[in-house]
Structure 1
Amino acid sequence: MEDTQTQEKTGFQHLFMQLNRAYAAKCFSQMTELGIHPGQIPILLLLAKRVEMSQREIAEELCVKPPTVNVMVQRMEKAGLIGRRHDEKDQRITRIFLTDQGYEMKKKVAEQIELNERYAFMGFSDAEKCLFRRFMEQIVANISCIPEEKTENLQEKERLTSD
């Protein structure tokens, strides 16, 4: 059995966090240099696909709270990346859309993301990349099965560790 210190440095939790921090730090720096906050990228990519959406639709699609979307939309509008217009059928609804400047930013962001992925997967074969994607998808699905309760179910823990 590994000692606690070794386990902390080699465990999956440590590797996930290390990967996330390293990638997020690189992306934050690059996106800031491009003139966009990394948290705004999902909205940028979503609007590029869907053309226009209400803030509520954006929040639902991205699984974030409407006030979070509101703050991002205000900042993106101030930066000239998005615009707003009233829905033709229901004037109470405001539609959010990318401006020409927003589409240009989306293009730059997509190019940077593609370049980052090429760097991240240097030395991986197509089969390995496919397998890695499959593993990550399975991990995401498995994480959704982790119970929310703070108390541990010892039988479940024993079942998982005996596999």
Structure 2
Amino acid sequence: MKQIETDNTINLMSRINERANRFILAELEKREITDIAPSHGAVLAALFRDSELTMSEIAQRVNRDRSTVTNSVNKLIDSGYLATMKNAQDSRSTLVFLTPKGRELEPAFFQISQSLAMLEYQGISAEEREIFRKVLERIYMNFS
């Protein structure tokens, strides 16, 4: 029986994700923001870019299924960061938008994102980053 060659690439990606999430949580806590999870970041980023989006639009932009997005949005609504209203153009859909409390997160969100990116790519050249991202995208597509 032929032995399958393996490595720890997936495990390493998972550990990087865990450390990045710990970093984000620590940065949020420094700013006394304790009711947001790192997984909420993509939803918030989409709404910082576009002030009103439907659940389907958010799901498409953050590359998550609608049920996952709905859970995140509901948690952010419960925490007072988001609200909803009926879509005037299509009464079958609901628009999600940032509340004033949600808008207040934007500066902290971008500071944390910048700090994370600086840490993530510390000591890595622009060329290495480009190659790395291309390889990650190919690995991702292998699972599609």
Q: What range is the shorter-chain TM-score in?
A: 0.7 to 0.9
CA offsets, 1:109-137, max 9 Å, x none?
22102101101221122222222222222
CA-atom RMSD, angstroms? 2.6
The separation in 2 between residues aligned to 1:73 and 1:54, in whole angstroms, is 11
The separation in 2 between residues aligned to 1:130 and 1:59, in whole angstroms, is 26
Q: State the match for 1:159 in structure 2.
A: none
User: Secondary structure in 1 aligned to 2:42?
Assistant: helix
Q: State the match for 1:122 in structure 2.
A: 122
The separation in 2 between residues aligned to 1:16 and 1:71, in whole angstroms, is 25
CA offsets, 1:63-83, max 9 Å, x none?
434333333222212222112
Q: State the match for 2:45 in structure 1.
A: 45
Whether contact under 8 Å (1:28, 1:37) holds in the other structure is yes
Unaligned 5+ runs, structure 2: none
Q: State the match for 1:154 in structure 2.
A: none
4+ long deviations beyond 6 Å: none
User: Secondary structure in 2 aligned to 1:34?
Assistant: coil
Q: State the match for 1:153 in structure 2.
A: none
Structure scoring higher RCO (CA < 8 A, sep ≥ 6) equals 2
Q: Residue 66 and residue 34 in structure 1: after superposition, are their counterparts in 2 closer, same or farther (change >3 A)? A: same
The separation in 2 between residues aligned to 1:85 and 1:142, in whole angstroms, is 39
Q: State the match for 2:58 in structure 1.
A: 58
User: Secondary structure in 1 aligned to 2:102?
Assistant: helix
Task: Give the count of matched residue pairs.
Answer: 138
TM-score by length of structure 2 reads: 0.76
Q: Percent identity?
A: 23
Q: Residue 41 and residue 123 in structure 1: after superposition, are their counterparts in 2 closer, same or farther (change >3 A)? A: same
Aligned pairs for 1:140-155 (under 5 A) are 140-144=140-144
Unaligned 5+ runs, structure 1: 1-6, 145-163
Q: Name which one, 1 or 2, has greater alpha-carbon Rg.
A: 1
